[in-house]
Structure 1
Amino acid sequence: MSRPLIAILRGVNPIEAKDIAAVLIEAGITRIEVPMNSPSPLKSIEAMAKAFGDDAQIGAGTVITVETVLDVAKAGGKLIVSPNADPKVIVATKLAGLDSFPGVMTPTECFAALGAGADGLKIFPASLLGLDGLRAIRAVLPIGTQVYAVGGADHTNFAEWIGASANGFGIGSALYKPGFTPAEVATRAKAMVQAYDKAKLG
């Protein structure tokens, strides 16, 4: 079962990347991003993509340049997540054959991102937009638009965000922080998946 959960491994290093990815995938989280401000992020992406490219969608977060998109593609990444909505980055992502999830906040940014070819929208920070803000924006978005809540959405409030029309979530420090062992990440990932499944069944 593929769940719309993206693990954000900010701070992960190449030595541990494969082990962390393994426990996430085993728990049922099969989309993983390594933010570009992590140590040697391209090495981590390459290691995970080589090991699990057939079982999971591995990619990069905090991507703000076209050059980075191309680097991620060379490393085997298939997903580009950004904190902003730069049409140049979105277009480059699609030309490289990768999925694009740019960060947006306003209706103008949402439509500009979709117009550039984004596969989905990352509402960021979700805590700033809030549940009512998401409902209001959803009312004008094209039917079927994939909206992921990131920043303020986690296992404690999945149900509320799903009720407000969120399709999925990006989860960072609730899943992984530098220093967490694979066993700790495994425990958190299993709990996250259980919380999502419970909220989805409602």
Structure 2
Amino acid sequence: MDHRHIIAILRGITPAEMLPVCTSLVEAGIILIEVPLNSPEPLRSIGEAAKAFEGRALIGAGTVLARFEVDEVADAGGSFIVSPDTNPAVIGATVERGLASYPGVFTPTDAFTAIRSGATGLKFFPAEVLGPKGIKAMKAVLPPTVPLYAVGGANPDNFGEYFAAGCAGFGLGTYIFKPGMSAADVAQRAAAAVLAYDQGKPQ
């Protein structure tokens, strides 16, 4: 599935909010949608959205810390796993279940551990602490085929800086969704993110 490398992080979303918010995201052009597992009934949200948007969006889980959680997400119909840390056991379990793996990394050691464990892409977190300069320095020693995502502080105002540092995409959390936010508000923010991404992406 061809897509923009923007992951919408819906921390705190409820099952009742999930489908309207996902509709807003997909219509705006964001089809990577993450439900952190510390949200209310996350597996229900993932399962219902995966079924409703099959073939149109990829629904995954975030804040995944253990192997059994990978199995729960896979069984619910999730397509990818995002973690805040570099855990080879979680990455390995994700690969075994045929899901895409986006572990959180902060150092070159984290990055190479994740790559050797089978990660699909690397989530630089928190990106606002590393900054574009820190990511650019690490990018120089990483395999060029591994996509890098800036998460934590990335927003449409600084996409260009992270693109210049070598990032392929972004994870957007509170910028794109906060609990209680309407689907219309999400649509407006998603449209702004897509516009900034399309304008800033290197050709």
SS in 2 for 1:89: helix
**1:185-196 equivalences in 2 (<5 Å):** 185-196=186-197
How far residue 12 of structure 1 moved from its aligned partner, in angstroms, is: 0.3
After TM superposition, give the deviation of residue 48 of structure 1 in Å.
0.5
TM normalised by structure 1 equals 0.98
> What is the CA-CA distance between 1:80 and the residue it aligns to?
0.1
Partner amino acid for 2:142? L
Q: Give the match's secondary structure for 1:170.
A: strand
Q: Match of 1:39, SS?
A: coil
Within 5 Å, give how 1:157-172 maps onto structure 2: 157-172=158-173
Which 4+ residue blocks in structure 1 deviate beyond 6 angstroms? none
Aligned residues: 202
Distance 2:144 2:8 in 1: 26
Give the corresponding residue for 2:140.
139
Q: Does 1:122 align with 2:123?
A: yes
CA offset digits 1:110-155 (Å, max 9, x no partner): 0000000000100000011111111110110012111000001110
State the secondary structure of the residue aligned to 1:144: coil
Structure 1: runs of 5+ lacking an equivalent: none
3-state SS in 2 of match to 1:132? helix
- Show CA shifts across 1:81-104 (max 9, x none): 000010000000000010000000
RMSD of aligned residue pairs (Cα, Å): 1.0
In 2, the alpha carbon distance for the partners of 1:201 and 1:93 equals 30
Q: Does residue 21 in structure 1 map to residue 8 in structure 2?
A: no
Please give the TM-score of this superposition, normalised by the length of structure 2. Answer: 0.97
Correspondence 1:163-182 to 2 at 5 A: 163-182=164-183
Moved more, 2-11 or 127-136: 127-136
Corresponding position of 2:4: 3
Q: Equivalents in 1 of 2:135, 2:55: separation in Å? A: 33
* SS of equivalent to 1:135: helix
Question: What residue in structure 2 maps to residue 199 of structure 1?
Answer: 200
Cα distance in 1 for partners of 2:140, 2:199 equals: 26
Q: What letter corresponds to residue 109 of structure 2 in structure 1?
A: T
Deviation at 1:201, TM superposition (A): 5.5
| Percent identity of equivalent pairs | 52
Residues 86 and 110, structure 2, Cα contact 8 Å, conserved in 1? yes
Compared CA separation, residues 201 and 94, structure 1 to 2 (3 A):
closer
Q: Distance in 1 between matches of 2:182 and 2:75?
A: 28
Query: Which whole-Å CA distance do the structure 2 matches of 1:190 and 1:201 have between them?
Result: 19
1:103 aligns with 2:104: yes
Corresponding residue number in structure 2 for 1:31: 32
Contact 2:163 2:202 in 1 (8 A): no
